[in-house]
Structure 1
Amino acid sequence: MNLVKVSDLFDVKYGVNLDLNKLDQVDRSHPDAIRYVGRSSRNNGVTAFVKRVSEIDPNPRMTISVAGGGSVMCSFAHDSEYYSGRDLFYLLPKSPMTIKQLLFYCTALTANKFKFSYGRQANRTLSDLLIPDIYSMPPYINSISFKDNDGILENIDQSSKLGARLIALDTENTLTNLFKVYNGVSSNNVVVQPTRSTSDLIPYIRPSKWQSSSYGGFVDKNLVPKDKIYPEETLYISTNGAGSHTYAYVSVESFLPNSDVAVLIPKRQMCLNEKLVYATFITSNRFKFSYGRKPKGLKIKNMILPMT
């Protein structure tokens, strides 16, 4: 995959920078209503509908909004004009892109979220972030199908009818339509060693917010059930932990999952890039769960995902 700077594909511009409390909020059905996009991580960033001000030009359609602060690096595609609040940038493609391509780059941009925090915002460095070039985009991106949900937002461009807040996914496409779900092995049934001293030791994967910290030790592959050892490039999801539930990753080597990790085996052939995309889709469902409502059993099996 060839990586390029954000500025190679997009013109990075600061939004119109309007204060919501100085605008007139209206119902979305108002003839002069326009979306107001803030630094939210939900609802495609739309936090209100406001009355259009004739003297203020909105951010253009077919652009990506990127939160420079707050929910930093949360990125959304917009197929109609919109106003924006403080610390919000928008990316204008240097060459025309479809809404599906913009959605792909929203995923690529949001994947850089871990590099920032409340004290380290995405402002001067946004232009230099690395993302896949247009030729590295998986070919199935342009064939992803969505089912439109009439009435969610008005003025949807009939040529696209897409966008994270503008679409409703096919309700028949649950996680178990795409994957077989297997549970891991309890720590009571294995001997976990703190370091890898021989080549027979493989990672014992536990729930974690970061893939780099999901190694809970090492186990001897000769002393555990063979059918519970999974190869590299296997998709798995954390099913427990207040700060780690629902995070999904693709393994970089063979491993044994613990009982709070579920392994997802595709029911059809999937390439590595497609598994990585699904890991992002699954992780985006994190807001639906909590320490008291874990992504286990039917809750994980009925999770709605896009069809690629």
Structure 2
Amino acid sequence: MTTVERVELAYNNVYFVSDGSSLVVIDTGPDYRGAREAISDALRGRTPDIVVATHGHLDHAGLGKWWQERGCAVLLGRDDMPQTMGQSDRDIDLMVAYLEHIGAPEAIKAEAIAAMEARRRWASEMRTSKAYIDARDGRWPTALRYEPFEPLRTIAEPTSLACGLTALPSPGHTPGNLVVIQADEGRLFSGDQLLPEITPTPAIQFHAGARFASLPRFLESLRTLRAELPGNAHCFPGHGEPFANVDEVIRANLEQAEQRSARLIEELRQDGAITLYELAERMYPRALRRRFWQIVATIQGQLDVLEEAGQASYAEGRWSI
């Protein structure tokens, strides 16, 4: 019999799973002022056998170096190593190049590029700052830091851990995204793969210098989880309250993707060929300027799904069916 302790670190959850002799920590926690002390208090002198980062984003792997300095092995999905080693801002150049292929007007491209350059400066500050600075969005007490580190071990296939846990590659949210399952107990530690009342939208992202088809892989991972877990499985998410209706939430995510694909097919039927930006402008006219990258990622993801299913094709900057 194992126990699960939830450690709330502002907007994030970290989980301690123990069978009385072994302790596995799921997610490193975000690095803000006070987070390390909160984790140390929750440990009560215990030393984890292993720490698993579900993915390389700063709020889930930001304290990886701190754990390793304490003598704890940190595991990560293999394809997320560029993020933990401080190389993720290379993707910014690829995102700028990506703008040339979606048909955005010059003024919109200029705004998006400016946002990307601001993000590059922020990423550099986040990795190199020795002091905590004021919070950017209120989800954590201070802005987050992210000291680069190299995980002791990377995972590219299902891997057994202590306490009856299995780290399961679930690419989509990131290329190297993991979830941790405990099939006998019906538990899923989902990171950002499955969240309560939120449908995660995989971003425009890259791997090995090429754009990564996030949404098709994300949906495949959800289907795999559905097959791996019992119908009454309980989810321990990276954000928000744990919940019991895992199968229902997975089904809702899959159904929403199907509905968005159906809507996109209807939009594509109205034109012989259309750019991604024109689709975004038509489908989200009021929000596009304000939520540019989120909307572009949503539409690109659905186009990737349709293309892989043979329901849409891309040629010379335009999409058609």
* TM-score over 0.5 for the pair: no
Range into which the TM-score falls when normalised by the shorter chain: under 0.3
User: Which is richer in helix?
Assistant: 2
User: Which is richer in strand?
Assistant: 1
The alignment's TM-score, normalised by the length of structure 2, stands at 0.25
The alignment's TM-score, normalised by the length of structure 1, stands at 0.26
Larger radius of gyration: 1
